Amino acid sequence: MAIVTMREALNQAIREEMQRDENVFLMGEEVGAYQGAYKVTKGLLEELGPKRVIDSPITELGFAGLGVGAAMVGLRPIIEFMTFNFSILATDQIINSAAKMLYMSGGQFNIPIVFRGPGGSAFQVSSQHSQALESWFAYFPGLKVVMPSTPADAKGLLKSSVRDNDPVIFIEQERMYGSKGEVSDDPELTIPLGVADIKREGKDVTIVARSLMVPVALKAADLLEKDGVSCEVIDPRTIRPLDIKTIIESVKKTNRVVVAEESHPFCGVAAEIASEIMERAFDYLDAPVKRLSGADVPMPYAKNLEDAAIPNVDQLVAAVKEVAYIE
Amino acid sequence: MRKRTPEPTRVGAEDTSATGLMDQDSAEDADARLDPAEAEALKAAQKSRFAELDRATLQSIYRQMLLARRFEEKSAEAYSTGKIGGFCHLYIGQEAVAIGAISAIGKDDYVLTSYREHAHAIAKGMSPDSVMAELYGKAGGCSHGKGGSMHMFDKEVNFLGGHAIVGGQIPLATGVAFATKYKETDQVTLCFFGEAAVNQGAFHESLNMAQLWKLPCIYICENNQYGMGTSLERAMSLQDISQKACAYEIASEFVDGMDVLAVREATLRAVERARKNYLPTLLEVRTYRFMGHSMSDPGNYRTRAEIERHQERDPLKLYSASLKEEGVLSDSELQKIDDEVRAQVEQAVRFAEESPQPAPEELFTDIYADPIQANE
Ligand SMILES: Cc1ncc(C[n+]2csc(CCOP(=O)(O)OP(=O)(O)O)c2C)c(N)n1
Ligand SMILES: [Mg+2]
C-alpha cells in the first residue's frame, strides 16, 4: 500500500495491464512523447515502446474506429481521448460500431476496448472543455460506463475495464487527477464493474454520488453528522450497468435519498436513478427523491459563475436537510 | 459539364505504374460505349489476362458473379412479396468489383464493406443459405436475424460486415489492418465503400492513418456514380477519386469495374504491396448499379437510356462473352452453370423459409460478452 494520486494510480493500472497482456495497446493524442496531456501515461512510451504506445494525429473519429476494428480481430485497445469533450467527434464509432457490433453480428464480434480520458468539469476552461457526458454513453445498451472517485477505485476499475470483453467508457474526473489515496501495488487486485461502493455508512439519509460529487458528499456527511444527521454515501462507480440493488437496499434503510451529480439534470443519470428508486422502493420513501445536479447551462468561464454551476457542499447539506425535513 | 483534372499524379511509396492501369481518357469512356480502337485495346489486355489464369479460376469467378446476380434477383422477388423487410440494397451491375477483388485474396484475409454487401459476403465464402436466412430475419441467418440485409457477418470466413453508416467501415478496416500488422501476420484487409463515402471525414482520417502507420489495408471505392439519388457531379468538388490518394501519398489506381479480371489484377497488385511492405492502396473502381439505390428507390434522378447504356457493359455479359471467345466455357457449359447456380439459390430460399424465427429471448442476448447482472 502506498499513498498515490489518481493520476499515478491510473498510470499503474495501464502499465500493469500492458505488461500482463501483449494485445493491449494505448493510442491517443500526446500519450507518448509528450507523456500525456495530463501525465496519466507518463513513462509508458519509454517502457513499452512505440509499437504499443502510439501517438495519434488529431483524428478522434479515425482512431476511435481504428480501435474498434482492431478489437474485432483480437487486440484490446485503450483509446485515450485527450478529454471526453473530443469524444463527441468519435461518437459514431463508439455508438454505432462499438456498442452494437456484438448484437448486429448475432454474437460473433465482441469489442474489448476502453475509451478513457478526463471528463466532467475542469478549471475555468468554459463550455467546450468542461462538461459531463456520462448520460450520453450510459444511454446505450452495449456500452459500460465507469467513473471512479478514488485512486484505489481508479486503479482497480481500470484494470477490470481493460480485462472486460465489452466496450467500456472510463471517465476520469479532470479536477481529481491530483487527489490522493491508498492504492495497492498488487497487480492482481481488480475491482469488479457493476458493483457500488458504500463510501460511508449511515442510517438517516442516502446520498448517491459519483465522481467529483463523492468527496463533496463525504464532506457534507461530516458536517451533517454534527447536526445529528447520519448519511450513507453510495458511489455506484459503474454507471452502466448500475448496481441499483445496493442503492435500493440503502433507501429501504434510510427512507430518504439525495442523488448528487455535476452533470446537467435533464435526461441525466440522477433522473434515471430517481426513477428506479420510485419504481422499486416507492413505499419506503418518507420524502420525494431529491436531485442535486449541475446547472442547466453551458459551463461559463468566470470563476464565480463556474462555481455556481457545480453543486457544492452547502447545497448538498441543504438538499439532505430538505429530504430529512430539517430546518 | 464535369471537370476533370489534367493528369493525376499517382504517388506512392512504390511504383504503381503497373500494366493494366486505365488512363484517364479510357476511364472516362468506361461509362459509355467504347469506340472500336479502344475496344480492341481492351480486348488485347483481356486476352493476356486470360492467358495467365487457369480454367478453374476463370470458371469459379464466373460462377460467383452469376451466383451473386441470381441470388439478388431472387432477393428482389422475396422483398416484393414481403418476405424480406427493411432496407435492401441490391448490387446488380457491380458484381465484377466484389468478386474480382475478393478473388485476389485468401480465406485468412479480411473484408469489410457497406450495407450493399450480399455479393461480398458470398464471394468471401459465406453460404448463400445463411445470407438468405439473414435477409428473411431467421435464426439460421449469419447474424441470427439480428443484423438483416445491412449487417452480414461471418467470423469463420473473416467477413467483418455489413456497416450501415456511410463511411463507418473505413476506420474499422483501418483498425483491422492495424491489428494484423501489430500481430505481424501477412493478412490483408479489403475495405469497400461507395463513392459518396469519400466525402466523409472517416475516409480522409483513415487514409491519413493508413499511410502514416503503413497499414496493409486496400481501400476499394466502388464508384457507381450515385449516392442514393445524388450524382457524383452534384456532390464532389474533385471527382477524380483516385487522385485523392495523393493527399496522403497513398498508391492508387483507377480501374474499370465492369471488367472482373481488371479488378482482380489491380487488387492483386495492391495485395502484394500490402503483404510485402505493409502499404495501403486506394482503388477507384468505376462501376454502375443497374437497380435502384434500395428497393424503395423511385429512380427519377437518371434516365432509362443512361441505365441501358451502362447495361451494354454488363459485367456478366462481358465476362461470359470473353469466356466463350477464349474457349474457356461453351454455351452449354455456361447454361449448366446457370442451372446449378439457380438450384443453389432455390436451396437458399428453402433454407430461409424453413429456418425458424429467432427465439423471443434472443432479443436480450448478445448485448454484452460479459453481462453483469447488477441491476436485476
Ligand atoms: C452517415 C450516413 N448518412 C446518410 C445515410 C443514408 N444513406 C445510405 S446509403 C447513402 C448513399 C451512399 O452512397 P455511396 O456511398 O456512393 O454508396 P452506394 O449506395 O452507391 O453503394 C445514403 C445517403 C447513411 N446511411 N449514413
Ligand atoms: Mg455510390
| A204 shares a domain with A164 | no
User: Is A258 inside any structural domain?
Assistant: yes
CATH number at residue A315: 3.40.50.920
CB distance B209 to A66 below 8 Å? yes
| A256 shares a domain with A153 | no
Q: What atom in ligand 1 is closest to the CA of residue B222?
A: 21
Strands (E), A94-196: 114-119, 144-146, 168-173, 180-183
ipTM over 0.95? The verdict is yes
Query: Tens digits of per-residue pLDDT, A219-238?
Result: 999 999 999 999 999 999 99
User: Is A188 inside any structural domain?
Assistant: no
CATH number at residue A171: 3.40.50.970
| A156 shares a domain with A47 | yes
Share of chain B above pLDDT 70, in %: 90
| C-beta B225 within 6 A of ligand 1 | no
pLDDT at B373: 74
Please count the structural domains in chain A. 2
pLDDT at B27: 41
Q: Which domain holds residue A149?
A: 2-183
pLDDT at A189: 94
Using a CB-CB cut-off of 8 Å, the residues of chain B touching A93 are: 168, 171-172
CB distance B253 to B14 below 8 Å? no
| A203 shares a domain with A174 | no
Q: In angstroms, rounded to a whole number, what is the distance separating the alpha carbons of residues B291 and B113?
A: 19
| A124 shares a domain with A81 | yes
User: Is A190 inside any structural domain?
Assistant: no
| A203 shares a domain with A145 | no
Q: Which entry of A30, A129, A249, A276 is annotated as an active-site residue?
A: A129
Query: Tens digits of per-residue pLDDT, B251-307?
Result: 999 999 999 999 999 999 999 999 999 999 999 999 999 999 999 898 999 999 999
Contacts of B69 (CB under 8 A, 6+ apart): B92, B95, B316
Q: What is the mean pLDDT of residues A52-77?
A: 98
Contacts of B202 (CB under 8 A, 6+ apart): A61, A62, A65, A92, B167, B168, B170, B171
Instruction: Report the range of poorest mean pLDDT among A49-63, B15-29, B54-68, B227-241.
Output: B15-29
Which of B181, B188, B198, B196 lies closest to B281, judged by CA?
A: B188
Phi/psi at A169 (5° precision): -95, 115
| A287 shares a domain with A173 | no
| pLDDT at B233 exceeding the cut of 70 | yes
| CA angle centred on A285, ends A282 and A289, rounded to 5° | 90
Q: How confident is the model at residue A17 (pLDDT cuts 50, 70, 90)?
A: very high
The rounded mean pLDDT for chain A is 98
Q: How confident is the model at residue B17 (pLDDT cuts 50, 70, 90)?
A: very low
pLDDT at B44: 81
- Does the N-terminal peptide bond of residue A192 adopt cis geometry, omega within 30 degrees of 0? no
CB contact under 8 A, B161 and A105: yes
Q: In chain A, whose CA is at the least distance from the CA of B168?
A: A93
User: Is A92 inside any structural domain?
Assistant: yes
Mode of pairing for the β-strands spanning B226-227 and A238-240:
unpaired
User: Is A191 inside any structural domain?
Assistant: no
| A141 shares a domain with A8 | yes
User: Is A20 inside any structural domain?
Assistant: yes
pLDDT at B33: 58
Using a CB-CB cut-off of 8 Å, the residues of chain A touching B145 are: 106
Query: Tens digits of per-residue pLDDT, A260-314?
Result: 999 999 999 999 999 999 999 999 999 999 999 999 999 999 999 999 999 999 9
pLDDT at B272: 97
CB distance A208 to A249 below 8 Å? no
| A145 shares a domain with A48 | yes
The answer to whether A129 is a known catalytic residue is: yes
Domains and CATH numbers, chain B: 43-356 (3.40.50.970)
Domain C-terminal end among A183, A210, A228? A183
| A251 shares a domain with A119 | no
pLDDT at B35: 76
The alpha carbon torsion through A93, A132, A158, A87 (nearest 10 deg) reads 30
pLDDT at B47: 80
pTM: 0.94
Query: Tens digits of per-residue pLDDT, A40-57?
Result: 999 999 999 999 999 999
Select from A62, A72, A193 the Cβ nearest to the Cβ of B205.
Answer: A62
| A220 shares a domain with A130 | no
User: Is A309 inside any structural domain?
Assistant: yes
Report how many helices (DSSP H) and strands (DSSP E) chain B contains, helices first.
13, 8
Query: Tens digits of per-residue pLDDT, B323-357?
Result: 999 999 999 999 999 999 999 999 999 999 999 99
Q: In angstroms, rounded to a whole number, what is the distance separating the alpha carbons of residues A55 and A36?
A: 10
Tell me how far the alpha carbon of residue B227 lies from the centroid of ligand 1, in angstroms. Answer: 6
User: Is A189 inside any structural domain?
Assistant: no
Name the residue at shortest CA distance from atom 12 of ligand 1. B227
| A213 shares a domain with A178 | no
